[in-house]
Amino acid sequence: MGGGPLPLGYELRDGKIVVIKTEAEQVRLIYRCRLELTGVNALVRDLQPQHLRTKVRRLPDGTIRGGIPTTQLSHIRSNRAFAK
DSSP per-residue string spanning 9-78: TEEEETTEEEE-HHHHHHHHHHHHHHHHSSSHHHHHHHHGGGT-BPPPEE-TTS-EE--PBP--THHHHH
57 in any annotated domain: yes
| pLDDT, tens digit, 9 for 90 and up, residues 8-19 | 888 889 999 999
Instruction: Extract the residue ranges of the chain whose pLDDT is less than 70.
Output: 1-3, 37, 39-40, 70-84
15 in any annotated domain: yes
5 in any annotated domain: no
28 in any annotated domain: yes
Domain assignment of residue 20, given as a range: 10-73
24 in any annotated domain: yes
